[in-house]
Structure 1
Amino acid sequence: MSELRRTQELVTDHGWTHYDLRKARQSDELVRVRRGSYIGSTVADARQRHLDLIRATLPEIRDGSVVSHASAAAVHGIPVANDAWTRVWATRPGGGNGRIGPVLHLRRCRLDDAEITVIDGIPVTSLERTAVDLARGRSQEWGVIACDAAAAAGADLGLVSAIVASMRKWPGAKRAAWALAFVDPLAQSPLESISRLQMHRLGFPVPITQFPVFRDGVLVATCDFGWEGHRLVGECDGKFKYADLLRPGERPEDAVMREKHREERIRGAGFWISRWSWHDAWHPDRLRSILTAGFASAPHH
């Protein structure tokens, strides 16, 4: 993480002029995080850019408020939709009105001490409270993703259930309760979570997640989903390019052959393979067609 620099610090402590600041921005030596705050030029993903924005905004939320909702998701590493990080989200315990500004979205509501933690110096809602807030406030799809991700990160599901129960009259509480009941700690990606939700909606048989494929008593592969009785496995890794799967010293063609051999072992164990992408999973008709074809093509014993 690049060090956060503030205009006052650069001008007062380091003798920069406003001309120096403008020149540094034009040359990408400094990148503006928000008014009055900069970081050194760096390649950062959306989550890191939001974490930088959180740190730049912390002085505004030091009055007992804590980072929450989508911003807490960034701190905990829970995936959220791309449009969720346009502002820093914070919650202040107690009643009264919140406010929405250009950079800060402040909520006011009940927040127990047990639902607050500190991570890398950032006061933030706990993993469990964050999952519930996301499941209440986001769509059903992203609520399931949040609960799966929190469970995979080690959230105490009993505590999540207790928080949901304490909010039974709050907006979105029923949606959060449903997402919690549907949670699968074995989900390893948002794509697996949304795929499982769509399968449920489409009425397909419930799959086994992280399905082990054996041949002659030897484990030959672990697939994202499997239907033992139907001799079908599902792989929702189509969004990755083979170049993303390279091992140290490998060429792209090596990864292609490695995946080809893996598929041959799965088919050799008597399973058909269906694959789909992120785009397919978010379009139910596409996923229905892929899985229907898979169930029809799988070898039936």
Structure 2
Amino acid sequence: MPDLPPLLLSRDRILHGLTPNELAKRVRAGALVRIRHGVYTNGVAWRALKPWEQYRLRVQAAAETFEKPTVFARRSAASVWGIPTIGQHHPVEALTLKNDGGRSRAGVSRHFAAPAGLSLVRREGILVTDRIRTVLDLAAFIPFTEAVAPLDHVLRPDGARRLPAVTKAELEAGIGSIYGAAAGRRMRAAIAFADPASGSAGESLSRALIHLAGFEAPVLQHQISDAAGLVGYMDFYWKRSKVVGEFDGEEKYVKPEYLKGKTASQAVVMEKKRENRIRALGINVVRWDWADLMQAGTLERMLAAAGVPRRRTRSAVTDAQTPH
């Protein structure tokens, strides 16, 4: 994640030589953006951030304004750890150690957590639940389709943050007696399904939707070669129906580590040539993006039209009815 723009707290405005009227004037002009009550940041920098980066800054803003130490959890802890989550416009989430059902105020959703066995870490100046507790909480309390991406992520080493991979055994051990029986079943089902071979949050969400729609499980990162050599590694491959599935995230055409010195237009042309080589082998290619994943039923219709086989009817019904 790039460096986030600095925050300006209204209580410190006098240090910057600003009056309340000047603050308000800069907000109206777009030079400043009000993130939460009493917290502002540079408007141009804010608008250049991705939604998940804006969310991370909102967590930082909340931490700056609370007088008492606050433990951030679930999606907010995930944002600090660099663990991807699905969706936008989530509230900032923190813990309360008082068993009063939790409460939400000042734009922060509070969740009860018993203090016994609660492992906390101070990271980037913010107090958060540890990585295992963070992804387990997500698996326990958000839908299965959204819980897969965080679990897939922690099963891989995070080289950018120098964090080791977490094992499924460690995740299972972390469940302990903290959660109820129903939450435990949801977590174990998500852990069993999680796979470090998923290359991105979009691939993880795709795989979860594919599973719930009752399709056969695809092979992940399948290598395809032709007479000219290696064509590439496919996100999803169904051997029986000879279908390749490719998730097109914006990273493929924007991030330098994916472009490898090419322009975005060059990357698009190379991707098209790659797809032509795959089709020349008699393999059908289905491509989808975030918009397709966010529209209920779209991915299922695309894969069904391409001839991707379903699991046995009985097993498909059973899996689809699993609580999530």
Are 2:302 and 1:290 aligned? yes
Are 2:177 and 1:166 aligned? yes
Deviation at residue 266 of structure 1 after TM alignment: 2.1
Query: In structure 2, which of residues 284, 294, 302 is the aligned counterpart of residue 272 of structure 1?
Result: 284
AA of the residue aligned to 1:81:
G
Report if aligned partners of 2:213, 2:300 keep a CA contact under 8 Å in 1. yes
Question: Secondary structure at 2:307's aligned position in 1?
Answer: helix
Query: In structure 2, which of residues 60, 80, 89 is the aligned counterpart of residue 55 of structure 1?
Result: 60
Q: 1:184 to 1:241 in 2, by over 3 A?
A: closer
| Residue in 2 that maps onto 1:10 | 13
Question: Secondary structure at 2:216's aligned position in 1?
Answer: coil
| Residue in 1 that maps onto 2:127 | 123
Q: 1:105 to 1:281 in 2, by over 3 A?
A: closer
Report if aligned partners of 1:61, 1:90 keep a CA contact under 8 Å in 2. no
Unpaired runs of 5+ residues, structure 1, are none
Q: 1:34 to 1:219 in 2, by over 3 A?
A: same
Query: In structure 2, which of residues 193, 207, 214 is the aligned counterpart of residue 196 of structure 1?
Result: 207
Deviation at residue 95 of structure 1 after TM alignment: 4.3
Determine the C-alpha separation between the residues in 2 that align with 1:251 and 1:145.
26
| Residue in 1 that maps onto 2:80 | 75
Q: Structure 1 residues 108-117 or 131-140, which shifts more?
A: 108-117
Are 2:118 and 1:107 aligned? no
Query: In structure 1, which of residues 9, 26, 38 is the aligned counterpart of residue 28 of structure 2?
Result: 26
- What is the TM-score normalised by the length of structure 1? 0.83
Are 2:217 and 1:206 aligned? yes
Determine the C-alpha separation between the residues in 1 that align with 2:296 and 2:101.
39
Deviation at residue 229 of structure 1 after TM alignment: 4.2
Of structures 1 and 2, the one with the larger relative CO (CA 8 A, separation 6+) is: 2
Q: 1:216 to 1:64 in 2, by over 3 A?
A: same
Q: Identical aligned pairs, as a percentage? A: 27
Deviation at residue 88 of structure 1 after TM alignment: 2.0
Report if aligned partners of 1:167, 1:173 keep a CA contact under 8 Å in 2. no
Q: 1:120 to 1:202 in 2, by over 3 A?
A: same
| Residue in 2 that maps onto 1:147 | 151
- What is the TM-score normalised by the length of structure 2? 0.78
AA of the residue aligned to 2:52:
R
Report if aligned partners of 1:213, 1:219 keep a CA contact under 8 Å in 2. yes
Deviation at residue 217 of structure 1 after TM alignment: 9.4
Query: In structure 2, which of residues 253, 268, 271 is the aligned counterpart of residue 256 of structure 1?
Result: 268
Deviation at residue 124 of structure 1 after TM alignment: 0.8
Determine the C-alpha separation between the residues in 2 that align with 1:80 and 1:296.
25
Determine the C-alpha separation between the residues in 2 that align with 1:206 and 1:138.
23
Determine the C-alpha separation between the residues in 2 that align with 1:200 and 1:57.
37
CA offsets 1:93-145 (integer angstroms, 9 cap, x no match): 46455321132222231255673212211111112111111111111211222
Unpaired runs of 5+ residues, structure 2, are 159-164, 310-324
1:220-259 mapped onto 2 (5 Å cutoff): 220-237=231-248, 240=250, 244=254, 248=261, 250=263, 252=265, 254-259=266-271
Matched residue count:
292
Report if aligned partners of 1:141, 1:194 keep a CA contact under 8 Å in 2. yes
Q: 1:292 to 1:260 in 2, by over 3 A?
A: same
Determine the C-alpha separation between the residues in 2 that align with 1:283 and 1:171.
28
Determine the C-alpha separation between the residues in 2 that align with 1:165 and 1:35.
39
| Residue in 1 that maps onto 2:317 | none
| Residue in 2 that maps onto 1:89 | 93
Query: In structure 2, which of residues 125, 141, 155 is the aligned counterpart of residue 137 of structure 1?
Result: 141
Report if aligned partners of 2:222, 2:233 keep a CA contact under 8 Å in 1. yes
Q: 1:26 to 1:259 in 2, by over 3 A?
A: same
AA of the residue aligned to 1:127:
R
Determine the C-alpha separation between the residues in 1 that align with 2:261 and 2:178.
49
| Residue in 1 that maps onto 2:186 | 175
